[in-house]
Amino acid sequence: MQTYTHCSIGAVIGALGFAHEPLSQAACVVGAVAPDLVIAFQYAVDVLRSRPPLVNQPRWMIVMKEASHSLLLWGAVLLFFRQGVAHAFCVGVVSHILIDGLTHKGVQFTQYDSSLLWPFTRYRLGRLIGLWEYRYGVGVLSPKPFERVVLIISTLVAVKLFWHQYFF
């Protein structure tokens, strides 16, 4: 899913999993978008240089993207941090990776996708558990209709949960 949808879903997970803990809720949201920060940097560089975004990814970015999107790595880190802000951050990261696993189905994006199982990059989690492909094309940021629905619903749920937690 797009980074902004991960943000909204991370807010719902943070509100549900860390009720009345604003720092942990914020950490969950930051964790939910953190794996895409490497990609966001490259996207910005490509746009500033008037190149098609994310079409030519340098080797360092591929390695960083693989590590930042590794369910095995972040699952292990999550087991290490069992509470607090670091735990909430890891929950957000793991939610991001699991959502990517469900939404990275398109074979046409194989060369751009993380395996989600680094260091075992030969296997593609999205090919194994993916339900649908969220992208129109490489570097295209507009959501498909289903993602729009998910974004709207998750944003409304997050606002309702935060409103209820902090204003009632």
Q: Mind spelling out the 3-state secondary structure of 124-154?
A: CHHHHHCCCECCCCCCCCCCCHHHHHHHHHH
CA atoms within 13 A on the CB side of 80: 9
Please give the pLDDT value at position 61.
84
Q: Tokens at residue 139, please?
A: 């570097």
Q: What is the mean pLDDT of residues 138-165?
A: 93
8 A C-beta contact, residue 161 and residue 16 = yes
Is the model's pTM score more than 0.85? yes
3-state DSSP assignment of residue 133: strand
pLDDT digits (tens, 9 = 90+) for 84-137: 999 999 999 999 999 998 988 777 777 667 778 888 877 777 777 778 888 788
